[in-house]
C-alpha cells in the first residue's frame, strides 16, 4: 500500500487528452511519503526500481496493527509484507503535513488519468494559458487538453459504472474552449446526465474561450443498470462537434454526524501532547463516529447538524505527570473531569471553579499540594462534586499553611463543643415539655419532605410510558421492572411495587430519598417516582446491557467478558461505592452489593443500583450503626450478621465477593464443591497455589497472572472476617485502577511486540484461518 501526504478524496477522475497523466509518482518524490505497509524497519527504506520511489516502513506512522506476510501462492500478485488490524475499533495513520503547503501538482491531491485511446476520438491541446481560477482549481496540464469526436455528427458519450444500485452520483464536467474558432465557427451542444430517475439536460451550451467552467448535476442521481451516462450532443446551429476537457465522478457517502467542535478538538489534542498520551484510539475526530469515539471521552450529540461537544474527560490511571493542564479550561461544555490516580503535582488551579458546566471533579490520589481554592469550595455548596482524597500535601482551606493559626484550632474546637453542648441541653429540655408527635404525623412530615421534588409522575403517566406495562425487564423482591420510554426518545426502567412485596413502602421511601440527593456517574440515576392511590413506582435510567452476573454467566448474548473489561467494570462499580462512603453527606452504606446490582449501560459502563436497603452511618469515634440485618446470602458480611453492627466495611466485604466472582465466574454458594461458600473455597486453592483452578477458564489464559494474583489478594483482604482488617473503598479503587492500567499496558505491549517481530519470520494464513475485517 502506498500512502501520500495530502487530502484523500473518494473519486474517479478522467482527463481527456493524450499526454495528460498526472499521477503522483511523476511529481517530485520529495513531496510524498511512500509507505510500505507492514515492512520491517530493519529493511527500510528501499527504492522501488520501476517507479524510482523510495519506500519506508509504516511502523512510525501508526500505533496499531500487526505485521504479517501473505501466503506464498499470492506472492506473485502482492508484496510479501502487509499490516492488518485485529485489535481495537479505531486504527489510524498519522501523516505529518505542513499547513498551507501544496503537495502534488493538483492542490486537492486528485489523480488524473487520460481517457483510453479510441479510433473515433480526436485529441486537441493548446500552449496558451487557460484561466482555471475557479473553486475546482484544475491543473493547467489537464485543462489545456480536450477531446472531440472524429465524426462531428455523433454524440460524445461517456459511461461510468458504479457498484451498487442505490449509489447516488455527482458528475462534474469541466469545459474550456482551447481551439481558435474561425469567423463563422460555432461550438454549441446539449449536455445530458442520464439517471435512473430521469435525465438532466443543459441546452445549447457554449464553452468559454480559454476559461474553465464546470457543469454538474446539482441533485445526486441514481444510475440506470449501475451505469451513469453523460452525453454531449451537437445542436443544429453548431458547426463544430462537442468538446470536453475533464470529468470527475463522485459517489455520495452519508456522514450523519457533524465533526466535533474544532475548539474542543484543539484542547484534547493539546492535552494529549502535553501529557504524551499514546492511546491507540486518540487519533482523528474525538467524538465522531459516535461508536468509535476516543477512550475516556464522552460527547453530547444534539443532532446531525450541530457539532458534538466534549462533556466528559476521564484520564484516570493514565500516568499523567506535571501540573494540571491549563488548556482544560477551554472545554467549556465539560461536565465531568477525572484526573485521579496519576502523578500530577503543583496546586489545584482556580480556573476549575470558573468552568460553569462542571458537575464532578476527581483529583484524588495524586501529588497535588497547597490549599484548595476557596472558589471551588464555594462551588461545592452549589452542587459541585469535588474529590481530592489521596493528596497528602493538599490542604482544604487557604489557612492550612499558617502556623500562627494552628494554636487557635483546639481553642475554637473547645468553644464550639461547649456551645453545641449547651444547645443540645436546651433542645432536650424544650422537647421534653412538648407532647410527642403521633407516628402518623411524623410519617406525614417525612413523606412531605421526600416528595417535594419535581420528579413525581402520576399513575396514568406510568401506564402510558410503559405502554400499559407491556415489556417486562425483570423481577425482584420489590416487584416487577418494566421497560418504558419518555417522549418516545429516552428509554427508562420502571420498578413497580407489588402488593406482596416484603420490602414495601419503607424501602421505596428510602430509595427515593437517597437518589434525590446523591448523583454520581457510577450510580444509576433516578428519573422520577410515582406515589398515587397505593400505586408506587420508581423510574430509573435504562441500563441496556443488563447486569454483571448475566454477562459472567453467559445469560446475555455476546462474547465472554475479557479480563480488561472485567477490571474496568470493577473500577467503575467501586467508584460508585466509594462515593457512597466518602462523597455523601452523611456517608451511606449500600447493604446489598452484589453482581446483579452492578448494571451496564449501552457503552458497558458500570453503575451501582438498588438502594432500598441503604443506610447512613456517622463519622468519627462512633462509626457503627445498630440495625436489623439485611442483605443477600453469600454476600452478607458475617461480622455484621453476628453483631447487627453496620459500617462501611460491610459493603467492602460484599464487594470482595463480587471481585472473586469476576475472577472465578463461579456461583457464590455451591453445595457440591469442597467448600460451599466461594471465599472459603478460594482460600483452599490459594493455600495450594492452584491459580489455574481459580481463574475463569473462559478467559483462555489472556491475562497477566501477576495482576490476577493482586486482585485476588485484594478480594481476600476485603472478605476478612474482621472489618478492621478490610481496606477502605478508596484503597480498593486505587488498587483496581493500578491493575487496570497495568492490564492496558500489557495489551499495548503485546501489540508493540508483535509489530517489532521480523515480518520475514511471521506468516499469517489469511486464506484458511484468519480473515481480517475491514476497519
Instruction: Give me the half-sphere count of Cα atoms (radius 13 Å) on the Cβ side of residue 68.
Output: 17
Do the beta carbons of residue 172 and residue 248 sit within 8 Å?
Answer: yes
Give the DSSP per-residue string, 376-434: HHHHHHTT-EEE-TT-TTEESSTTTT-GGGTTHHHHHHHHHHHHHHHHHHHHHHHHHHS
Residue closest to 462 by CA, chosen among 413, 403, 396, 528: 528
Report CA torsion sign: 310, 316, 318, 323: positive
Cα–Cα distance, 690 to 692 (Å, whole number) = 6
Do the beta carbons of residue 230 and residue 157 sit within 8 Å?
Answer: yes
Query: Residue 509 annotated as binding?
Result: no
> What b/e string do you get for 223-249 counting C-beta neighbours within 10 Å, with b at 16 or more?
beeeebbbbbbbeeebebbbbbbbbbb
Cα–Cα distance, 230 to 201 (Å, whole number) = 10
3-state secondary structure of 283: coil
Neighbours of 315 (CB within 10 A): 24
Q: Grid coordinates standing for 31?
A: 513531496
Cα–Cα distance, 567 to 305 (Å, whole number) = 37
Q: Find cell 469515539 and name the residue.
A: 293
Do the beta carbons of residue 4 and residue 26 sit within 8 Å?
Answer: no
Give me the sheet containing 156-161, strands edge to edge: 156-161, 227-234, 189-195, 198-205
Cα–Cα distance, 4 to 331 (Å, whole number) = 33
Burial class (CB in 10 A: 0-12, 13-18, 19+), 425: exposed
Catalytic residue among 58, 106, 338, 592: 592
Cα–Cα distance, 233 to 150 (Å, whole number) = 14
Q: Cis check for the bond before 84: say yes or no (omega within 30 of 0).
A: no
Burial class (CB in 10 A: 0-12, 13-18, 19+), 632: middle
Q: Grid coordinates standing for 566?
A: 472485567
Active site residue 281: no
Q: Grid coordinates standing for 371?
A: 490549599
Q: What is the CA radius of gyration of the chain?
A: 35
Do the beta carbons of residue 755 and residue 576 sit within 8 Å?
Answer: no
Q: Find cell 463543643 and name the residue.
A: 417
Cα–Cα distance, 703 to 740 (Å, whole number) = 11
Helix-helix angle 729-756:563-578, to 10 degrees: 160
3-state secondary structure of 494: strand
Do the beta carbons of residue 544 and residue 470 sit within 8 Å?
Answer: no
Cα–Cα distance, 299 to 329 (Å, whole number) = 16
Q: Grid coordinates standing for 493?
A: 426502567
DSSP-derived pairing of the beta strands 227-234 and 472-475: unpaired
Q: Give the containing element (helix H, strand E) for 92.
A: none
Helix count and strand count (H, E) for the chain: 15, 38
Instruction: Give me the half-sphere count of Cα atoms (radius 13 Å) on the Cβ side of residue 713.
Output: 10
Q: Find cell 476521564 and name the residue.
A: 314
Cα–Cα distance, 189 to 200 (Å, whole number) = 14
DSSP-derived pairing of the beta strands 360-362 and 385-387: parallel
DSSP secondary structure letter of residue 756: H
Cα–Cα distance, 599 to 115 (Å, whole number) = 61
Among all residues, which ones are annotated catalytic? 592
| Residues of each annotated binding site for ATP | 495
Q: Which residues are annotated as a binding site?
A: 495
Amino acid at each position: 500500500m502506498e500512502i501520500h501526504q495530502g487530502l484523500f478524496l473518494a473519486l474517479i477522475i478522467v482527463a481527456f487528452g493524450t499526454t495528460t497523466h498526472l499521477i503522483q509518482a511523476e511529481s517530485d518524490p520529495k513531496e510524498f511519503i511512500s509507505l510500505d505497509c507492514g515492512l520491517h524497519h530493519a529493511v527500510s527504506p528501499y527504492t522501488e526500481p520501476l517507479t524510482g520511489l523510495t519506500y519506508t516502513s509504516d511502523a512510525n506512522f501508526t500505533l496499531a496493527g500487526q505485521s504479517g506476510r501473505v501466503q506464498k501462492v499470492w506472492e506473485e500478485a502482492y508484496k510479501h509484507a502487509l499490516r492488518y488490524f485485529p485489535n481495537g475499533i479505531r486504527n489510524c495513520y498519522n501523516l505529518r503535513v505542513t499547513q498551507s503547503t501544496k503537495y502534488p501538482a493538483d492542490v486537492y491531491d486528485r489523480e488524473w488519468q487520460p481517457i483510453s485511446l479510441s479510433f473515433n476520438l480526436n485529441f486537441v491541446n493548446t500552449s496558451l494559458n487557460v484561466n482555471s481560477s475557479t473553486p475546482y482549481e484544475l491543473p493547467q496540464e489537464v485543462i489545456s487538453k480536450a477531446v472531440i469526436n472524429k465524426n462531428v455528427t455523433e454524440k460524445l458519450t461517456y459511461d461510468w459504472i458504479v457498484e451498487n444500485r442505490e449509489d447516488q452520483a455527482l458528475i462534474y464536467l469541466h469545459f474550456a474552449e482551447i481551439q481558435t474558432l474561425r469567423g463563422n465557427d460555432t461550438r454549441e451542444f446539449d449536455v445530458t446526465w442520464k439517471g435512473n430517475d430521469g435525465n438532466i439536460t443543459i441546452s445549447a451550451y457554449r464553452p468559454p474561450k480559454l476559461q474553465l467552467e464546470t457543469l454538474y448535476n446539482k441533485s445526486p442521481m441514481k444510475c440506470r443498470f449501475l451505469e451513469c451516462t453523460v452525453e454531449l450532443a451537437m445542436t443544429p446551429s453548431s458547426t463544430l462537434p462537442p468538446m470536453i476537457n475533464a470529468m470527475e465522478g463522485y459517489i455520495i457517502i452519508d456522514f450523519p454526524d457533524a465533526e466535533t467542535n474544532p475548539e474542543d478538538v484543539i484542547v484534547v489534542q493539546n492535552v494529549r501532547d502535553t501529557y504524551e498520551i499514546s492511546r491507540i484510539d486518540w487519533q482523528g475526530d474525538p467524538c465522531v463516529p459516535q461508536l468509535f469515539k476516543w477512550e475516556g471521552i464522552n460527547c453530547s450529540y444534539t443532532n446531525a447538524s450541530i457539532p458534538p461537544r466534549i462533556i466528559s474527560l476521564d484520564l484516570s490511571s493514565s500516568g499523567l505527570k506535571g501540573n494540571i493542564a491549563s488548556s482544560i479550561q477551554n472545554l467549556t461544555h465539560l461536565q465531568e473531569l477525572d484526573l485521579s490516580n496519576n502523578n500530577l503535582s503543583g496546586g489545584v488551579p482556580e480556573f476549575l471553579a470558573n468552568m460553569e458546566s462542571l458537575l464532578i471533579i476527581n483529583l484524588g490520589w495524586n501529588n497535588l499540594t497547597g490549599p484548595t481554592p476557596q472558589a471551588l469550595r464555594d462551588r461545592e455548596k452549589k452542587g459541585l462534586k469535588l474529590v481530592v482524597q489521596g493528596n497528602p500535601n493538599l490542604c482544604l482551606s487557604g489557612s492550612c499553611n499558617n502556623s500562627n493559626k494552628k494554636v487557635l484550632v483546639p481553642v475554637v474546637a473547645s468553644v464550639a463543643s461547649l456551645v453545641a453542648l449547651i444547645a443540645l441541653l436546651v433542645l432536650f429540655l424544650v422537647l421534653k415539655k412538648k407532647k410527642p408527635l403521633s407516628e402518623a404525623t411524623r410519617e406525614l412530615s417525612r413523606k412531605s419532605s421526600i416528595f417535594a421534588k419535581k420528579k413525581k409522575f402520576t399513575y396514568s403517566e406510568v401506564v402510558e410510558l410503559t405502554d400499559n406495562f407491556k415489556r417486562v425487564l425483570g423481577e425482584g423482591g420489590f416487584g416487577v421492572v418494566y421497560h418504558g420510554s419518555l417522549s418516545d426518545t429516552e428509554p427508562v426502567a420502571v420498578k413497580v411495587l407489588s402488593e406482596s412485596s416484603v420490602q414495601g413502602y419503607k424501602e421505596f421511601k428510602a430509595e427515593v430519598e437517597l437518589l434525590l440527593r446523591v448523583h454520581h456517574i457510577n450510580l444509576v440515576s433516578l428519573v422520577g417516582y410515582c406515589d398515587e392511590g397505593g400505586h408506587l413506582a420508581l423510574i430509573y435510567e435504562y441500563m441496556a446491557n443488563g447486569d454483571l452476573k448475566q454477562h459472567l454467566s453467559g445469560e446475555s448474548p455476546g462474547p465472554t467478558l475479557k479480563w480488561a473489561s472485567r477490571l474496568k467494570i470493577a473500577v467503575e462499580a467501586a467508584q460508585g461505592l466509594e462515593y457512597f462512603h466518602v462523597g455523601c453527606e452523611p456517608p451511606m452504606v449500600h447493604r446489598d452489593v452484589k453482581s446483579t446490582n452492578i448494571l451496564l449501560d449501552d457503552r458497558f459502563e458500570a453503575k451501582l443500583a438498588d438502594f432500598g436497603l441503604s443506610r447512613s452511618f456517622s463519622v468519627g469515634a462512633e462509626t457503627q450503626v445498630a440495625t436489623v440485618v439485611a442483605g443477600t446470602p453469600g454476600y452478607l458480611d458475617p461480622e455484621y450478621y453476628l453483631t447487627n453492627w453496620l459500617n462501611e466495611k460491610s459493603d467492602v466485604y460484599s464487594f470482595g465477593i463480587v471481585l472473586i466472582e469476576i475472577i472465578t465466574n463461579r456461583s457464590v454458594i455451591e453445595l457440591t464443591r469442597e467448600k460451599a461458600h466461594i471465599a472459603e473455597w478460594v482460600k483452599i486453592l490459594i493455600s495450594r497455589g492452584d491459580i489455574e483452578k481459580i481463574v475463569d477458564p473462559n478467559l483462555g489464559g489472556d491475562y497477566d497472572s501477576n495482576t490476577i494474583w493482586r486482585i485476588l489478594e485484594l478480594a481476600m483482604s476485603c472478605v476478612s472476617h474482621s472489618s478492621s482488617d478490610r481496606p477502605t473503598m478508596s484503597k480498593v479503587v486505587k488498587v483496581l485502577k493500578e491493575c487496570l492500567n497495568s492490564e492496558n499496558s500489557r495489551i499495548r505491549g503485546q501489540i508493540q511486540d508483535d509489530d517489532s517481530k521480523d515480518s520475514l519470520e511471521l506468516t499469517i494464513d489469511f486464506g484458511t484461518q484468519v480473515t481480517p475485517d475491514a476497519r
